Homo-oligomer: A and B are copies of this chain.
Amino acid sequence: MSSLKDLFSPRGIAVVGASKDPTKIGHLILKNVVEYGYGGKIYPVNPAADEVLGLKAYPAVSTISGGVDVVVVSVPSAKVLDVVDDAGKAGAKHLVVIAAGFKEVGNVELENELVRRARKHGMRVLGPNIFGYVYTPVKLNATFGPRDVIPGNVAFITQSGALGIALMGSTILEGIGISALVSVGNKADIDDADLLEFFDEDPNTSVVLIYMEGVNDGRRFVNVASRISMKKPVVVIKSGRTEAGARAAASHTGSLAGNVALYETAFRQSGVLSVKSVEEAFDFVKTLSWNPLPSGERVVVITNGGGAGVQASDTLADDGLYLEKPPQDFVEEVKKIVPPFASLANPVDLTGMASEDWYYKSVKTALENREIDAVLVLYCHTALTSPMGVARAIHRAVGEAGARKPISVAIIGGLEAYEAIRYLTNLKVPAYPTPERAAHAIAAQIRYRRYREYLLKRILPGG
């Protein structure tokens, strides 16, 4: 197990700068730690208070008796070094440095000194310039972001603060379950590669999502990312992909967004799914974390609207995925329910007359057919059916099918369609408002499958 084990499952956590003032960051972090239900020891550190949020407060970390594995440091940058020494004396293992005012504003020396001193005490540093971290298996939310993140199997690493906090909120809205959420900020010490090593072995994590502006050690990232990608997909939003973006990144975190082509090559070599937008990343995370891995590339598209089918075919083709004729036994089954003029090539068009039952039957039959590896279901809200009825039919088919297979659903329409999408995503069935997004998200699973096969062949003798 990686050396980050104690960071994610500390016996005790101290919050330095745990103010009684509810607008202060130290207060907000302590509140999240308490209210999200962390089971270990919690120690507010505040020389000016006897208690904070009902917990006994300590004047310094070194005055706490009991194992403090993690010290969250929420004091101004000028006071951080004192806390480092104090935490070191107390035998802490990890410093989580919230404070800004380091490398990102040109204060390189202070940042180097922070790491040097922490190392001297045998401590590792997360941050500085971060909003904290979350690890849901132990109910630890040590951030000043939203409290009620949904427990799940996605680990999210973010180099950006404000965007990271906002996206933390998005995960809740989108129903994406989180194992860990780590703000890495300036990455003075702990970086993406360290975290990937931990998540590689973490049984609670199945997918990793990274918002990255740059990495310090590209070679190490490629090594570690290649390793984990053989087991778990890694999705990367590489910000500063363009020269203009890289310039913006430089003026923002002082981070070197670096040569665009170099990153692209590195991602390809390491089997990482690189995406351009936040939306794409979240869309991918849904199929990757809720669906099983596909056993092949044979996707069947089921639709009630030809146009939606064409749009999906275009998107799949853009993603290098070509639809083949569906297996004959599947076609025969569908023929029994649809009108004779229905086109049963791929996309399989149930026609605008499609009922909820037709969706149920065709989706279940597809999921159970051995020659079909993944199912893309498209539904256009028409006068004949209700989106919620179709969503329920699809969910029933998924639940009753004798096999678990990747599925992705588009429900196109107005408010009722929106509600049906929420219904399905709450049940962990990936659902989207447009055919293109549903198609692109299922294609991500095939893309990951290809990367993984390539990586496995590369390392296996005779592979």
Q: CB-CB < 8 A to A229: which residues of B?
A: none
**How many angstroms from the CA of A345 to the CA of B158 in the assembled complex?**
23
Q: A278-B436, A314-B244 are in contact. Are A307 and B252 (CB under 8 A)?
A: yes
Q: CB-CB < 8 A to A311: which residues of B?
A: 163, 237, 239, 245, 277-278
Mark interface residues in A377-398 (1 if CB within 8 Å of B CB, else 0): 0001111000000000000000
Q: A170-B412, A240-B314, A345-B251 are in contact. Are A308 and B245 (CB under 8 A)?
A: no
Secondary structure type dominating chain A contacts: helix
- Tell me if A435 counts as interface (CB < 8 A to partner B): yes
Query: Is B314 touching A239 in the complex (CB atoms < 8 A)?
Result: yes
Mark interface residues in A418-439 (1 if CB within 8 Å of B CB, else 0): 1000000000000001111100
Query: Is A244 touching B211 in the complex (CB atoms < 8 A)?
Result: no
- Tell me if A349 counts as interface (CB < 8 A to partner B): yes
- Tell me if A213 counts as interface (CB < 8 A to partner B): yes
Query: Is A166 touching B382 in the complex (CB atoms < 8 A)?
Result: yes
**How many angstroms from the CA of A158 to the CA of B306 in the assembled complex?**
12
Query: Is A245 touching B276 in the complex (CB atoms < 8 A)?
Result: no
Q: A241-B314, A310-B248 are in contact. Are A381 and B166 (CB under 8 A)?
A: yes
B-binding segment of A46-54, A84-92, A315-323: A315-323
Query: Is B166 touching A380 in the complex (CB atoms < 8 A)?
Result: yes
Within 8 Å by CB of A436, from B240, B279, B323, B433, lies B279
Query: Is B352 touching A161 in the complex (CB atoms < 8 A)?
Result: yes
Q: CB-CB < 8 A to A213: which residues of B?
A: 307, 310
Mark interface residues in A130-165 (1 if CB within 8 Å of B CB, else 0): 000000000000001110000000000011111111
Q: CB-CB < 8 A to A253: which residues of B?
A: 306
**How many angstroms from the CA of A318 to the CA of B309 in the assembled complex?**
28
Query: Is B307 touching A414 in the complex (CB atoms < 8 A)?
Result: no
Query: Is A162 touching B382 in the complex (CB atoms < 8 A)?
Result: yes
Query: Is B248 touching A308 in the complex (CB atoms < 8 A)?
Result: no
Cβ of A360 to closest chain B Cβ, rounded Å = 18
Within 8 Å by CB of A252, from B167, B309, B433, lies B309
- Tell me if A14 counts as interface (CB < 8 A to partner B): no
Could you write out 18 A-B pairs with CB less than 8 Å apart?
A105-B341, A159-B307, A162-B382, A163-B306, A166-B305, A170-B417, A173-B418, A211-B307, A213-B307, A239-B307, A239-B314, A242-B313, A244-B317, A248-B309, A248-B323, A251-B345, A252-B343, A279-B436
Seen from chain A, the residues whose Cβ lies within 8 Å of a Cβ on chain B are 25, 28, 105, 144-146, 158-167, 169-170, 172-173, 211, 213, 237, 239-245, 247-249, 251-253, 257, 276-279, 304-311, 313-318, 322-323, 341, 343, 345, 347, 349, 352, 380-383, 412-418, 433-437
In order of increasing CB-CB distance, the 5 nearest A-B pairs are: A160-B307, A162-B305, A252-B306, A169-B414, A163-B307
Query: Given A160-B310, A161-B352, list of 20 further CB < 8 A pairs?
Result: A160-B306, A160-B307, A160-B308, A161-B305, A162-B307, A162-B380, A163-B305, A163-B308, A166-B380, A166-B382, A169-B415, A170-B414, A170-B417, A172-B414, A172-B415, A248-B309, A252-B310, A252-B343, A277-B311, A278-B436
